[in-house]
C-alpha cells in the first residue's frame, strides 16, 4: 500500500453495497470482510485491491456526507455529479433508520448528552455506535431544519430532504414524537415497537387539527383539545349507566358464536366498564395539559390496556368493545341536549384513540 493510493473519476459511481455498509458504520477493514463474504466474484481478487476500492468509496462518502445532511443541496452542488435517481437512492439509504435504535433514541431527550451516551443504545440494539450516531444526528438535523421552516412538516421533509413519501411520513411521526417529548421510556411501554407509535401518531396527525401558529406545527389546536373537556359528561352518573347497558347489549349481539367465551367476555366488561370508560374520558379531559399529553401512551396502557390484559381479554374482544362503545355513545339519550356538539367531538377523539389502543394491544 502506498501513502497515497486513490482513484478519482469524473462521474460518481457508487457501489451501493459499500454505501450501505458505510452507513451502518463499518470500518474499511470490516467492510472488506463483509464484501468478501457477500460477493463471491471478488474472492480471487487481492485483498489490497478490494481495500483500496472501498477506501476510494469511503473518501467519496465522507465528502458526500455534508450534502446528505442537507439533501436539497445535492441538487445544486458541483462537487459530485449525481443524477436525480441517484440522489433519491442515496438519501433514502442515508435516512434509513433502524426502528429499534430509533425507539431507544426517542426514549430520551435529543440532547448533546445523549449523543455522547449512544454507546448504551448501540450495545442494547447490537448496532454500531457510528450508525446510532448517524440516526441520532439525522433526526436532530431534521428537527433543527424544520424549526426554521413554515408549513406542514410532511411537505417540508419531502422537499427539503428529498425523501420518498413513506419515509417522510414515518419521519413526520418521529419528529412529532420527539418534539412533543412523548414519554416512551416507561418500562411498561417497552413491549411497544416504533411502528406502534408511528401508527398512533399518524392517526392523531391525520384526524386531529393542528395548531395554526407557524412556529410549532407539531402542536394540536389548543381549542380543539379543550373541547375534549366536554366529553366529561359521558362519565356522569346519569349517562354512564345507560351507555353501559347499550354497549353490553350491542356486544352481545355482535359476539354470539361461542357461548362460554362470550359470556365470560360480557361479564368481564360488565365489571370493568365503569373504570375503563372513566379512564378513557379522563385521558381526553387531560390532553390539553402538555404533561398529560406526554404521558398519553402510558396512560392508555396503564388505565385501559393493562386492566384488560390482566383479565386476559383478547384483541378481538377489545376491538368489539371499543367499536360498540363509540357507536352507542351517540345513542345515549339526552346527551346531545346537554352538549350539542357531543357526537362530533366524541367521534374525533374516540376513533383515533380506539385505533391507537387496538394497535397497542399486543
Partner 1 sequence: MPGKIKIGILKARNLPIMDRSSESSDAFVEVRFGNDNYYKTPVYKKSLDPEWNSRFFFEVEEDEIQEEPLQIRVLDHDTYSSHDAIGKVYIDLKPLLNPNGPTALNGFFPIFDTLHGIRGDIKVQARLEILSDCNEYRKSSSGVQFFTSSRIPEGYVLQNFCGFVEEMVLNDDPEYQWIDKIRAPRASNEARQKLFTKLSGEVQRRIGLKVLDIEANCVLGYQQYFDLEGEFGIVVRGIGTAANIIRQAGNSKSQLFPEISKHSKISPNRLTKKISSESDLNHQNLINKQENQNGHSISEKMEYPFLTLQQYPSGFIKSVCGIVCSRSVKLLNSNNEFDDLESRDKWWIEIRNEIRSHMKSLDCHVVLGYTETKSICEDVCVLSATGTAALFNEAFFANPLKRIDENSSEKCSICHVPYDETELPFPVALSKCAVCGQGQVPDVIFTSIQPLPEIETIGRGSLIKAIVSRPRKKSSGEISAKMISDYMPFMEYELHRQLLGKLKIKGMNMLYGLKVQISIGENLLMGIAEATACFAAPLPKPILPKIINDKMNREFKDIESLKKLLIDEMQRNIDFYGLEFKLSSSTIEQTDSENDSKALLKIELDDYREKENIYQLMDSAAKKNILACSTEYMPGIEFNSNLQMFTSIYRCEAKLVQMNIKKFNEIFDYILEGLNYKFRKYKNYVLANLSTDTSLFDDDHAMIILTGSCLTYGESNIDIKNNVEITNLSYVPNARIERYLGLVNLFLIRESTQIKENGGLSGFMHCFITEVLALVRAHVLSLDGNALVSFKMTECVLLDNPHRNQGQCLINVTGDAVRIVK
Residues making contact with partner 1 (CB under 8 A):
2-11, 13, 41-42, 45-46, 48-50, 52-53, 55-56, 58-60, 62-63, 73, 76-81, 83-84
- Backbone φ, ψ for residue 12 (5° rounding): -80, 110
Q: Which residues contact 264 (CB under 8 A, 6 or more apart)?
A: none
In the complex, the smallest distance separating the C-beta of residue 215 from partner 1, rounded to whole angstroms, is 19
In the complex, the smallest distance separating the C-beta of residue 49 from partner 1, rounded to whole angstroms, is 5
- Kindly state the cell numbers that stand for 185: 421510556
- Backbone φ, ψ for residue 127 (5° rounding): -120, 160
The backbone region for 258, taken as left when phi is positive above 0, alpha when psi lies in -120 to 50, beta otherwise, is beta
In the complex, the smallest distance separating the C-beta of residue 113 from partner 1, rounded to whole angstroms, is 21
- Kindly state the cell numbers that stand for 316: 378481538
Cβ(230)–Cβ(339) below 8 Å: yes
In the complex, the smallest distance separating the C-beta of residue 50 from partner 1, rounded to whole angstroms, is 7
Nearer to partner 1, 46 or 337 (CB): 46
In the complex, the smallest distance separating the C-beta of residue 109 from partner 1, rounded to whole angstroms, is 22
In the complex, the smallest distance separating the C-beta of residue 45 from partner 1, rounded to whole angstroms, is 6
Nearer to partner 1, 47 or 241 (CB): 47
Enter the DSSP assignment of 304: I
Nearer to partner 1, 14 or 329 (CB): 14
Nearer to partner 1, 107 or 141 (CB): 141
Nearer to partner 1, 45 or 193 (CB): 45
Short-list 196, 131, 112, CA closest to 121:
131
Cβ(35)–Cβ(22) below 8 Å: no
Exposed, middle or buried: residue 112 (CB in 10 Å: 0-12, 13-18, 19+)? exposed
Rounded to whole angstroms, what are the CA distances from 176 to 108, 131, 270? 14, 22, 37
In the complex, the smallest distance separating the C-beta of residue 178 from partner 1, rounded to whole angstroms, is 22
Amino acid at each position: 500500500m502506498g501513502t497515497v493510493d486513490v482513484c478519482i473519476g469524473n462521474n460518481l459511481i457508487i457501489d451501493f453495497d459499500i454505501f450501505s455498509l458505510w452507513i451502518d458504520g463499518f470500518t474499511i477493514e470490516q467492510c472488506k470482510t463483509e464484501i468478501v463474504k457477500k460477493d463471491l466474484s471478488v474472492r480471487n481478487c487481492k485483498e489490497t485491491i478490494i481495500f483500496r476500492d472501498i477506501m476510494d468509496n469511503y473518501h467519496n462518502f465522507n465528502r458526500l456526507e455534508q450534502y446528505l445532511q442537507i439533501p436539497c443541496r445535492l441538487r445544486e452542488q458541483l462537487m459530485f455529479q449525481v443524477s436525480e435517481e441517484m440522489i433519491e437512492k442515496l438519501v433514502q439509504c442515508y435516512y434509513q433508520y433502524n426502528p429499534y435504535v430509533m425507539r431507544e433514541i426517542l426514549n430520551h431527550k435529543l440532547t448533546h448528552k445523549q449523543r455522547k451516551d449512544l454507546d448504551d443504545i448501540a450495545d442494547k440494539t447490537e448496532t454500531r455506535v457510528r450508525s446510532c450516531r448517524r440516526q441520532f444526528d439525522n433526526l436532530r438535523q431534521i428537527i433543527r431544519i424544520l424549526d426554521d421552516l413554515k408549513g406542514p412538516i410532511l411537505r417540508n421533509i419531502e422537499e427539503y430532504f428529498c425523501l420518498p413519501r413513506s419515509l417522510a411520513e414515518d419521519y413526520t411521526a418521529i419528529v412529532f414524537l420527539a418534539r412533543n417529548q412523548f414519554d416512551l421510556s416507561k418500562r411498561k411501554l417497552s413491549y411497544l415497537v416504533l411502528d406502534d407509535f408511528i401508527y398512533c401518531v399518524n392517526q392523531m396527525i391525520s384526524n386531529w387539527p393542528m395548531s395554526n401558529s407557524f412556529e410549532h406545527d407539531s402542536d394540536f389546536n389548543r381549542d380543539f383539545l379543550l373541547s375534549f373537556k366536554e366529553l366529561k359528561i359521558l362519565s356522569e352518573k346519569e349517562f354512564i349507566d345507560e351507555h353501559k347497558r347499550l354497549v353490553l347489549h350491542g356486544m352481545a349481539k355482535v359476539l354470539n358464536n361461542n357461548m362460554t367465551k362470550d359470556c365470560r367476555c360480557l361479564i368481564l366488561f360488565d365489571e370493568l366498564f365503569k373504570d375503563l370508560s372513566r379512564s378513557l374520558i379522563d385521558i381526553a379531559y387531560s390532553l390539553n395539559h402538555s404533561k398529560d399529553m406526554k404521558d398519553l401512551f402510558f396512560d392508555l396502557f396503564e388505565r385501559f390496556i393493562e386492566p384488560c390484559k390482566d383479565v386476559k381479554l383478547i384483541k378481538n374482544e377489545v376491538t368489539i368493545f371499543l367499536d360498540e362503545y363509540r357507536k352507542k355513545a351517540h345513542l345515549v339519550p339526552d346527551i346531545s341536549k346537554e352538549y350539542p356538539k357531543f357526537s362530533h367531538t366524541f367521534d374525533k377523539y374516540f376513533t383515533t384513540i380506539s385505533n391507537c389502543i387496538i394497535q397497542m394491544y399486543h
